[in-house]
């Protein structure tokens, strides 16, 4: 058991037990958009404050994932600063990946307790839109992670185009094209091995029914399974409408411009990986003053390290 918590209503009163040894039977994977985790201000993006960094470490400390996918990370130095701070808090991630794309300010990254045994960074993928050539802004990090000598999975983390308008093209069209590039990478992996253990996660920047999100999830035998993490707040009723998800709380992002809360962060699984999915260890973190750290909330899913 990772967390030894009192039954008081505030999650900050948790004392953390040490991580289980390498080779444990279960493990967890999380994704977290850190909202401009920069060591230096860049253009309109300010450097991350000490208070925001502390809240991010607190959030990670509550969920304590063995593998953590990150979005909106600044330079390699910013990632290593976070990694060092987490180590001082008792969470050591000896293995890491930092992937840059066309956007030179914010990037995607992975921190892992387990060895990263293969790296396939996607940094220069592009597409044509209305006769113009574009590149995927943040790239995609693709890594193979060995949990035990007998169990390995592939993780792909993404951060698709935001909803902020840009003069070059419609933001939804750009996001859809980036999603289609990501889907090509997913299909290539599953074509090689339809039973592959694959997790696709990160900030897809739109709701589930959007064209871009549907493109990533896919259809047919290579469709991904949506884990749909929700708050652990006591909601447990099934859906009251056939074909709809239950009415539990799943929003991951606050968009200040629209004053809206949306689920735009996802943990998606191949059918092979879904067989190892532990639904009781899958949730969205609800933490007081979560917004001090980021405009996103982290989500986590758990798995059994055994092919089924």
End-to-end CA distance of the chain: 23
Please indicate, yes or no, if residue 5 is contained in any of the structural domains: no
pLDDT score recorded for residue 11: 37
The predicted model gives 198-207 an average pLDDT of: 98
Residue 7 lies in a domain: no
Where does 193-264 have alpha helices with state H? 211-217
Residue 241 within a domain: no
- Could you count the other beta carbons within 10 Å of the beta carbon of residue 201? 25
Tens of pLDDT, residue by residue over 61-105, are 999 999 999 999 999 999 999 999 999 999 999 999 999 999 999
**Residue 20 lies inside a defined structural domain of this protein:** no
> Looking at the domain assignment, is residue 15 inside a domain?
no
Euclidean distance between CA atoms 100 and 107, whole angstroms: 5
Structure tokens that stand for 235 in this block: 């909601």
The boundaries of the domain holding residue 92 are 26-228+246-304
Is 171 within the bounds of a domain?
Answer: yes
- 237-283 residue pLDDT tens: 999 899 899 999 999 999 999 999 999 999 999 999 999 999 999 99
Contact 126, 134 (CB under 8 A): yes
Q: Does residue 192 sit in helix, strand or coil?
A: helix
**How many independent structural domains does the chain possess?**
1
Query: Other C-beta atoms within 10 Å of 60: how many?
Result: 26
Helix (H) or strand (E) holding 118: strand 116-119
Q: What is the mean pLDDT of the chain?
A: 92
For residues 204 and 222, give the distance between their C-alpha atoms in angstroms, rounded to a whole number. Answer: 19
- Is 8 part of any domain? no
CATH number at residue 58: 3.60.10.10
In-domain check, residue 224: yes
Predicted confidence band at 19 (pLDDT cuts at 50, 70, 90)? low
Position of tokens 């973190």?
285
Tokens, residue 302 = 């758990």
Q: How confident is the model at residue 23, as a pLDDT? A: 43
């Amino acid at each position: 058991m990772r967390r030894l918590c009192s039954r008081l209503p505030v999650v900050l009163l948790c004392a953390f037990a040490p991580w289980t040894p390498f080779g444990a039977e279960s493990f967890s994977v999380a994704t977290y958009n850190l909202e401009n985790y920069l060591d230096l201000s860049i253009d309109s993006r300010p450097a991350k404050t000490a208070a925001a960094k502390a809240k991010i470490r607190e959030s990670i400390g509550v969920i304590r994932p063995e593998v953590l996918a990150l979005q909106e990370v600044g330079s390699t130095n910013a990632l290593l600063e976070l990694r060092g701070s987490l180590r001082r808090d008792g969470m050591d991630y000896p293995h890491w990946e930092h992937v840059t794309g066309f956007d030179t300010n914010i990037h995607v990254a992975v921190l892992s307790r387990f060895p990263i045994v293969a790296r396939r960074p996607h940094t220069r993928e592009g597409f044509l839109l209305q006769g113009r050539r574009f590149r995927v802004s943040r790239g995609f990090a693709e890594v193979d992670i060995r949990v035990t000598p007998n169990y390995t999975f592939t993780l792909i983390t993404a951060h698709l185009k935001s909803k902020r308008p840009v003069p070059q093209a419609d933001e939804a069209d750009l996001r859809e094209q980036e999603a289609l590039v990501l889907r090509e990478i997913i299909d290539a992996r599953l074509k090689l091995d339809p039973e592959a253990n694959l997790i696709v996660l990160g900030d897809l920047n739109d709701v589930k029914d959007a064209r871009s999100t549907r493109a990533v999830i896919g259809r047919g035998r290579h469709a991904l399974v949506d884990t749909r993490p929700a708050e652990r707040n006591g909601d447990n009723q099934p859906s009251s409408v056939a074909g709809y998800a239950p009415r539990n709380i799943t929003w991951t992002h606050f968009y200040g411009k629209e004053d809206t809360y949306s689920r735009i962060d996802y943990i998606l699984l191949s059918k092979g990986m879904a067989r190892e999915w532990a639904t009781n260890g899958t949730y969205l973190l609800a933490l007081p003053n979560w917004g001090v750290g980021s405009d996103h909330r982290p989500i986590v899913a758990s798995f059994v390290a055994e092919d089924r």
